[in-house]
Structure 1
Amino acid sequence: MLNQRIEGLRDYPFRRLAELIAGATPASNRPPIDLSVGEPRHQPPGFVNELIASRSDSWNRYPPINGTPEFRAACAAWLTRRYRLPAGMIDAETMIAPCAGTREALYMAATVAINPDGGGPRPLALMPNPFYQVYVGAAVLAGAEPVFLAATKASNFLPDLDALTPETLDRTQIMYLCTPANPQGAVADFAYLERALLLARKHDFLLVADECYSEIYSTDTPPTGALEVAAALGGSLDNLMVCHTLSKRSSAPGLRSGFSAGSPQAIALLNRLRTYSCAATPFATMEAATALWRDEAHVDETRALYRAKFDIAERLLAGRFDFYRPQGGFYLWLNVGDGEAATRRLWAEGGVKVLPGAYLTKHGDGPNPSQGYIRIALVSDLASTEEALTRVAALL
């Protein structure tokens, strides 16, 4: 009677983490510091609260599923500025769909793209490995078979596109690509993204670019986006959907606001699906989100904070655990030999909660390629970050 596809999904990483450290109580003289979840703890700009309060008269109205014209226009204008797109390439009315953060958009993209009843072999969904769990859940529940593409140090922490066979590509209906990558922080350059989009168009699948960490980067040049490639190829968004969110960019995960951009056909289907399955973003939230997409000052300040935290990490950990300063994102991906053992020890003896890398990676009969790693999310304030990383350096 129940959906067997759901039962086939493995536990979410944080439930596995809770089981791993169950029974371990950190020493009381060391306040616990949780760096296991990618939940930014910086405060968003003060105008967010002011704008939400100013729209208190809107709570008795159902908001439109496709958002307000002002929100869509702000998102289209931000994409155009950020990725230096030709004027008019992104049509705010037909190419932008608001979503409750990227999670909702990433999940629904699979339902939009995958047709399990088209005849022939079961469709495939490609994704990097390590991966964001939503990619798998979305693929499986849409009726596709997940294909995990190794993204290890040997491939610069991105999937090797040249290793994909024509047979695999012909069965593919969706490919997820996260850049900057979670957890490794690798950034796909223009040539890589061009290769991915050309493959999507040649083999007619949807390339979904998860760019939720695009505004957190360590280099002087912002990460290339998939839309820049689309612009260079003529401006069409066919076979492409990009997903952005305010959770990381604006330190506002609780706002649950993001958007997808894609071809008019894909966005129309996404909005139709959301009509059946989602609650639309409230007017008050939408107005605050609109203001955030129009403002860059708070993003510059946030980026500077993350860079300061990576400075601390480099000072304390350079030369150990295969430490490197990632190009983007806010994670450390450290090779500590045994990720689960290190996680247990850091919590029990140091009160620092991290995530074993193996919990983010699918493996077959052989060893898990991320078994030796831990992921550390540098989401706390500067003082807590330095204290946590000092304990990591001392204990491991």
Structure 2
Amino acid sequence: MNPDLNQLHPYPFEKLAQLKAGIEPPAELAHIALSIGEPKHEPPQFVLETLSQSLSRVSNYPATKGLPELREAIARWATQRFQLSENELDPETQVLPVNGTREALFAFAQATVDRTAKNPLVVSPNPFYQIYEGAALLAGANTAFLNCTAENGFIPNFSEVDPSVWQDCQLLYLCSPGNPTGAVLTLEHWRVLLELADRYDFVIASDECYSELYFDEAAPPIGLLQACRALGRDDFSRCVVFHSLSKRSNLPGLRSGFVAGDAAVLADFLRYRTYHGCAMPVPSQLASIAAWGDEVHVRANRTLYRQKFDAVLKILDGCLEVEKPEAGFYLWPRTPLDSESFARELFAQQNITVLPGNYLARPTDAGNPGDHYVRMALVASLEECIEAAKRIKLFMEQF
């Protein structure tokens, strides 16, 4: 077996199951899961109808590169959403459909990392989406983590990172809006990172799967391609973005997303994917075309999340140290107990499951930035989220 498999950490939800083992919460309280970031809102009916009507196309082998119509639909959406110039994003060379961002984020490291280098390094925020670390380790790379804390606004000061880290860095994973903090990188953050990428020759992989979940309709989060455009980098050199329909359109089971950016990088990634055998089924591609072409259901989706955040934060105000994130669907409250104790006792007393923050991060010389935090995903119904907030407020009275 591949010896690098032995480096993988247990997945957070595996550790969570062990933490809850043997606990019997109050039977009279219905369980409320705030732990898994799985969208629960209704998927758009017109997308389901398109999927159903195209099932006969399962008789066709899909192309790894995807249907031209899908790549064109993605390019149109990205051009409008991120204020690109017309024809700036070439659907022929700068867009690839993928089976959700998780699959693509993992595969990207396998295609990008040069394991023959002296110290191949993949850099990641901390806390982080666990796929970044697993992808790096199985690509034969080492990992470096940049702590995201309340003190730095949950975004590292990239210009203060030791130059030796950037010297060895081959791939930088970022998530904006962030998981779990909801922090959003600004144009100035992107400017610094692009200068570093040019100076030290590494690729930026921007995970933007939460980009369409924001609160101010007049101020959507800036993306990496948009930053490139604003800074005059119309070739998107060293830049690749990852987007998904899972959160945007409540279609996590469709497993549909895309990568876009540097044409040279994507050419090699396509070559890798041709052997990887990960082409998206044609019915899924046709359904995806319908989803990327509509914004009405996306605005309605944001409204639902806005209602839940407003209601929950009003109840938790004054009893739990938590702030409204810039975007996304997570709360990242600081806890009076260590992360595991808080999650375990909340489950035992109130039958609510949250994810300990230290499961999403790694210890560094400055400590584990997930300690004394938990992640709460407001994906349940408004009624369930309100009930959860009331129980959490009751739970917090003992402190």
Whether TM exceeds 0.5 here: the answer is yes
1:384 aligns with 2:384: yes
Confirm whether residue 351 of structure 1 aligns to residue 351 of structure 2.
yes
Q: In structure 1, what is the Cα distance between the partners aligned to 2:366 and 2:298?
A: 42
Within a 5 Å distance, the mapping from 1:295-306 to structure 2 comes to 295-306=294-305
Match of 2:290 in 1: 291
CA shift in 2, pair 1:4/1:196, >3 Å = same
- Identity fraction in percent: 41
1:212 is aligned with what amino acid?
Answer: C
How far the C-alpha of 1:366 sits from its partner, in A, is 6.8
Superposed displacement of residue 197, structure 1:
1.6
Normalised to the residue count of structure 1, the TM-score between the two structures is 0.97
Tell me the residue number matched to 1:272: 271
Q: Which residue of 2 aligns with 1:94?
A: 93
Match of 1:150 in 2: 147
TM-superposition CA deviations, 1:141-185 (whole Å, max 9, x none): 111111000110111101220122222211110001110000011
The Cα of 1:319 is off from its aligned counterpart by: 2.9
TM-score with structure 2 length normalisation?
0.96
* Per-residue Cα deviation, 1:291-338 (whole angstroms, up to 9, x for no partner): 100100000000011110110122111233321110011000011122
**Contact 2:98–2:278 (CA<8 Å) still a contact in 1?**
no
Residue 334 of structure 1: SS of its match in structure 2?
coil
CA distance in 1, matches of 2:87, 2:352: 48
RMSD: 1.2
User: 89-98 or 263-272: which moved more?
Assistant: 263-272
Equivalences for residues 168-179 of structure 1 within 5 A = 168-179=165-176
In the other structure, the counterpart of 2:224 is: 226
Offset, 1:74? 0.7
Mapping for residues 308-327 of structure 1, pairs under 5 Å: 308-327=307-326
SS in 1 for 2:375: strand
Q: Which runs of 4+ in 1 moved over 2 A?
A: 319-322, 364-369
Please give the alpha-carbon distance, in whole angstroms, between the structure 2 residues aligned to 1:8 and 1:267. Answer: 28
Secondary structure at the counterpart of residue 59 of structure 1: helix
**Counterpart among 184, 187, 190 of residue 187 in structure 2:** 190
Alignment partner, residue 37 of structure 2: 38
Aligned to 2:258: 259
Moved more, 162-171 or 135-144: 162-171
Q: Give unmatched runs, 5+ long, in structure 1.
A: none
Which whole-Å CA distance do the structure 2 matches of 1:298 and 1:168 have between them? 42
Alignment of 1:332-347 (within 5 A): 332-337=331-336, 338-347=338-347
Deviation for aligned residue 1:364: 4.0
Is 240-249 or 314-323 further displaced after alignment?
314-323
Larger mean Cα displacement after TM superposition, 134-143 or 11-20: 134-143
CA distance in 2, matches of 1:166, 1:362: 21
| Deviation sequence 1:50-100 (CA, Å, 0-9, x none) | 111111211121111111111100110011000110111100011011111
Task: Measure the CA separation in 2 of the matches of 1:86 and 1:369.
Answer: 39
Partners of 1:301 and 1:91 in 2: CA distance: 30
Q: Is the 8 A contact 1:112 1:266 kept in 2?
A: no
Aligned counterpart, 1:181: 178
Aligned counterpart for 1:130 among listed residues 127, 135, 140 = 127
3-state SS of paired residue (2:333):
strand
Determine the C-alpha separation between the residues in 1 that align with 2:15 and 2:7.
16
SS for the counterpart of 1:94 is coil
Q: Give the distance between the partners of 1:146 and 1:87, measured in 2 at CA.
A: 38
